[in-house]
Structures are given as structure tokens and as C-alpha cells.
Chain A
Amino acid sequence: MASDGTEIAVGEWHPAGSSRSVPSRLIDAGGGFKVLDEAGLELTAGTFAAVDVSARVGAIPRRAEFPDGSLFETTDNDTIDRFLKAKGKTSLVHEWERFHPRLIAVVLATVLSGVAIYRYAVPALVEIAVLVTPPIVPKIMSASTLETMDRSVLDTSALAAERQQKIRDGFAGIARLSDRGEGGFSLNFRKGGAIGPNAFALPDGTLIVTDELVELAGDDTEMIVGVLAHEIGHVELEHSLRQIYRAAGVAGLVMMIGGDIGSGAEDILVQGAGLLSLSYSRAAEAAADRHSVELMVKAKRDPTAIARFFDLLEKELGDSSDTSILATHPGTPERRKAILDYAGELKAQGQ
């Protein structure tokens, strides 16, 4: 009986839904598969199209599921592969997975595409996300942030009206020259409380300056305008949105690959991504500093005014720390130097 076909592999056969197994042979019976037991009796059969042969993964047992629900299982992967190959079916993925010098190329391709994704695809996706984000998003984000801060740390400003007006006039002068124009920004004064001398920008163009910063600056309005030009830079370069999208994108990538690298290594990657986002934040601060210098030059004001602010910070608050990989901002002395250098550069170009 075994003569009407050629043997492909030896294995075990299970009736449908049963763990009972019968030693058997898989036979190529011309148009389809047949499973015969040791006595040569037919256990099941099916056409090639109707029998589902599992894809190869390493050397794990191969399964052939028959239309009647029964199963033939064999560890003889190579003969099954040869048979399928003769039928014109090869598994491309398994071909690449085989241990072979070619894997060195796969490793290199993995490293290169990993770097390319991080360096180019993630920033590109971030740019697309920023572009398609409707303007209402930063508006609502900013409104709710300001509301939360007003409730928790900030208080109504106690600054004299004329002092506020003087700063507003200076600010209007540079805001007019920015890409968004004067209407793109709104300047707010608040008592800083716990956050002390500070200025910050919300993504919709809302700028907040604390009384403490104004007091620290004394009569030097130019310095405050320089700081505000820095904050305008954050808004115009859309740093907040970029940072949010970037963090989300990197977290998503790490999550996707987590199953393959194990939970310990995944945790380390998450921490590493955190450190990298800090470096991104420092780069954003430096970019905003340069923006301040450019805007001040454009407004024919003192481009080094913001550097004086860093001088003050250093003197009054004793902040002379170097740039640290654990900080969101570059070190103060380094920032001051970068600003002076850049201002000098622009001046040289202008002449």
C-alpha cells in the first residue's frame, strides 16, 4: 500500500482534538498528503492546498494540519523544507534567520536602521506631527497649564504699573519683529513664589515673567527684554510640542522592541531615552539663546543683554555649575560664553 507515493517524513499523528498519538509517516501521494500508520493503513489525507504546514522556526517540530482536524507532527524539518522547496514554496524569513555569515550584514543593517530611525525617522515624524497639529491644541494645552500653575504656585503680580508698561513696551518692540508678530504673544506678570526668578513660555505664545526676575534685573529692562526674546524663541521653534511628540515616539519604539530585548534591558533603554531627552532639552535652550541674540540684533538692541542675566544669576544665586548630563539646561557660564560668541559673530557679519 505504501507504494502509491513517496515518504516525506516520519512523525506522530494525532486524531482531531486528541492527545493520543500514533507513530506514522507523511506520504506525498501525488496531488496531496497522506498519513500512514506503521502497518501502512491510511490515517488521513488531504490535497496540498487543504493541508496547512506550519512555517519553520528554528528546529521546533513541524505541524501539518489536515482538513479533518487531525495533526501530523515531525521533527524532520529539513525533509519538509526540501519537499516544499520542490513545490516552489520557500520561507524567506527563515532563510534569513539561519545561522550564516550573512547575519553579520543583518546585524549591521539593524544597527544602521536603528540609528537612521532615531536620527531621521523620529525627527521627521515629529515634524509631521507638529505640522498636522491644529493651532487649537497648543492653545488649550497652554490655557490649562496656566490655570494649573495659577492655582498652585503663581500669584497676582505686585509690580508697579509703570514698571510693567516699560517692559511691555520693550517686549512689543521685539515681538513685532518676530515671525508671529506682536499679536502672536501675550505677556503676563505673576508673582513666582516657589519658582523664584523665572520666565517661561507656553506653546501658544503666552509668556510669563515672575516679579522676582524683574526685581533681580533692577533697572536693566534691556536684560528682561533679552530673556523674553529667548522665550519667544521657544515658542517660535515649537519646542514644547516637539519635546512631547519626541518623547512619545521614542517611548513607543522602546515598547515595541521590549519583548525582544527583555525587561531589564528595556528599563535601561527607557532611562537612556530620558537622558537623551535631557540633551535635547539643553539643545533647545541653546537654540532659544541664539534666537534671543538674533532678535535683539534685528531690533537694534543689545544682543548680549541676556548674557548679563546669566552674570546676575551667577553672582546673586551662586549658580556657576558646569553643564551636566543630568540637567535640563546647559551650565550658566557656558551659556553666557556661547551668547557672547554668537553676538560677536553676528556683529562681525553685519560690518
Chain B
Amino acid sequence: MVVAETASMQGTLTQRVPDNFHRLSFTGSGKEYFGIWIVNVLLTIITLGIYSAWAKVRRNRYFYGNTVLLGRAFEYHAKGKQILIGRLIVFAYLIFYNVMLTFVPIAGIMLALLLVAFVPWLVVRGLRFSARVTSYRNVRFDFVGGVGGAFLAFIVGPVISVLTLGILVPLASRWSYRYIGSNLRYGQRAFATDPSVGTIYRSWFLSAAIIVAGLAIIAFVGFLNFAVIMALFDGSVEPTGGIQFSMIALFVFGYIALVSIFGVAALFYRAGVRNVAWSATTFDGKHQLTSDLSRGRYAWIAVTNLIVTVITLGLMRPWAAVRMARYVNEHTGVHFEGNVGEMFDKIAQEGSAVGSEFMDFEGFDFGF
């Protein structure tokens, strides 16, 4: 079903003018990234985390610089010092907050509320920073979203999602994608995103079904062991070593099963929503973006990546990261209207985005 759906989506979008549809590609390799990665990890560890800011710059430069559209790569421009300052501010606030929470609980709660009030502003700063340190063909991206939209997308959205046990998640997804997508600029030209709630719900149903079915299986297994669990609780059975061991095994198994179910459902949903949202995005009112990830394949790559990373004690992480980047890039494309060369000849950077990122600090960590 998944395969058929994405195939048809791809069909309708590429049918128009096939020669003007261009996919992203990823030109990096696990072998090359391994060296960058292990040096990052080593320097981060021996500097007790301080180098992590510079590590992030090298990692992002590698991944942006290998993301290629029309033969040209993206570029990441942030400097380690900027990222370090942003992190130090957040870190100092967290320490201050925890100290206050210990000594003067009331003041601690006030600080937490203050932080929540500041979250939308921090999100705006973070998104703007991420956009402005990203360039393609010598032109920077920019982000023009306001605090109100960030509040709706990143405070109201998650809250209603939790309160409705996930039923309103698609609404929250629509808000956040629309907020980010419609406030993104590239050289004075705007992106516009308006994914419909109906299409997001269509991919939400699959994830909801995975969760319901998974929970039903866990409940069934739990029911089979119900007698043992109850006997232990009312004390009628003396807990022997064997039962104790099987209880722990059951607990661990149940925990892993629960995490896997929600993890897989989240992966399916993430890929589905990305497809819907990107495919509902235009640049400059006419160039159509496309995402045609297969949800099953995306989840498979993410899950096997994690397993391989864990089994190799992290050493295969570079391979896993490159594998995922390649898959996602190759299933992302743009359908250009008109002559691409002429279009890029005319795009020029807005003055405001240039240089001003040096005044910015990275509020919250957002990558594109």
C-alpha cells in the first residue's frame, strides 16, 4: 500500500515536465565521514564538551556541503564560537533555574514559567539563525516568522497533542510545517507551505493503527502472565529466583516492546508528514517541492541504523548517518517552472540577512 501510494504521488508530480524535475543528492560517504566523526567525538570528550560547538560546525558543513541540487552544494556558515555562546547561555540558565528550584521553589517555578514564555522567542531566534547560516549558490536563506506563530506551533500544538492523546497531532504538525515553510525566504523570494489536515490525517491513521495494534499485543501477553503477576502481588506465591528472573525479563521485554511500537509509529508518521508538507510547498509561487519517502523504507533505515550503531558500539554511526541522509535527499526534489539558469541569475541576497547572523546566537537547535 505504501509503495503504491508514493509511486502514484511521484507519478503525478513528475508527469508535467519531466526534464525540469531535479532531485537532491548526497555526495558524502561513510568512509569519509568516519574520520570527521571520530575526531569530533574524541575532541568533544577530551575538552569535556566544549569542542562540541565546533564539532557541530564540521558535521553540518559536511552534511550541507554534500547535499547537492543541480550540481551545486549547500553551505553551512555558523562559527563554533557563536554556537558555544548560545549553549553557554542556555546552560547558565539551566544551572540558575536548578539552583533556584532547590533553594526557593517558588522562584524556580517562576523561572520555569518565564522560560516557557520565552520559548517562542527562542524558537524564532533558533530558526532564523539556522536559516541565515545556510546558503545555496552564494545566497543565504532567511526566516521572517514572528513570536505569535511560534507560540501556536511550538507551545499550543504540543500541548493540545498531549491533552488529546495524540488525536490532534496532525493539526500541530500542520501548524509547525506551515509556520516554518511559509516564513522561509531565499534571496527575497518566499516559500509557501499549506499542507491540508485531511492528507496529514491519512498518514496519521497508519501510525495510530500501529500503536493500537501494538498495545493490544502487549496487553494480551500481559494477560497471559496475569496470574503470575497477581500471585506475586498478593503474596500467595513465595518469589523464587526463577520467577524473579522471569519477572525482570518480562518487564524489560515489555519496556522494549512499548518503546519500539511508539518509535516505529513516530517514524512512519514523520516520513508521511514530511511527504505531505514538502509536496505542499512552493518556492516563489511556482516551483513545486516534492518529498516521496516510502514510510516503510524510512522506518526500516532508521531502525536498522540504530541497531547497527548499537551493535558496533557507535563505530558504524557515520555509515548510518550518511545512509539516512542519502535516502532522504534522493527522495526530495524540486520541480522548476521555466529556465533554471535564468532564474538563478536573477536571485540576489537581501541586505538584512547578510552579516546580521553574527549578532545572532543560536537559541534552540533547529536544523533544516
Contacts and interface: CB of A to CB of B under 8 A. Distances in A.
Nearest to A61: B73
B309 A19 contact: no
Given A117-B45, A259-B59, A326 B248 contact: yes
A93 B65 contact: no
Q: Binding site of B, secondary structure by majority: helix, strand, loop or mixed? A: helix
B314 interface: yes
A17 B349 CA distance: 5
B305 A262 contact: yes
A264 B35 contact: no
A265 interface: yes
A324 interface: yes
A268 B73 contact: no
Nearest to A255: B49
A103 B38 contact: yes
A290 to B, nearest CB: 26
B343 to A, nearest CB: 9
Contacts of B46: 113, 117
A59 B32 contact: yes
B198 interface: no
Interface string A91-109: 0010011111001001101
A99 B32 contact: yes
Given A260-B59, A260-B317, A58 B33 contact: yes
A156 interface: no
A121 interface: yes
Contacts of A93: 39, 58
Nearest to B302: A264
B38 A107 contact: yes
Contacts of B235: 318
A14 B138 contact: yes
Contacts of A34: none
Contacts of A264: 263, 302, 305-306, 309
Interface residues on B, range: 35 or more
Given A99-B34, A257-B52, A19 B41 contact: no
A321 interface: yes
A261 interface: yes
Given A58-B62, A96-B39, A99-B31, A265 B45 contact: no
Contacts of B321: 262
B242 to A, nearest CB: 11
B314 A113 contact: no
A60 interface: yes
Contact of A265 (B238, B239, B310): B310
Contacts of B346: 20
Interface in B91-109: 102-103, 105
Contacts of A140: 102-103
A291 interface: no
Nearest to B51: A256
Nearest to A107: B38
Interface string A257-282: 10111101100100000000000000
B45 A113 contact: yes
Contacts of A109: 42
Interface in A224-266: 252-253, 255-257, 259-262, 264-265
Interface string B315-350: 101001100000000000000000000001111110
Given A12-B72, A265-B317, 10 more contacts: A21-B137, A96-B39, A99-B32, A106-B38, A114-B45, A117-B45, A253-B48, A261-B309, A264-B309, A318-B235
13 contacts: A17-B354, A58-B66, A60-B28, A60-B65, A97-B36, A103-B34, A117-B48, A141-B102, A144-B103, A255-B49, A257-B52, A260-B55, A260-B317
- Which are the 5 A-B pairs with shortest beta-carbon distances? A60-B65, A256-B49, A14-B138, A17-B349, A97-B35
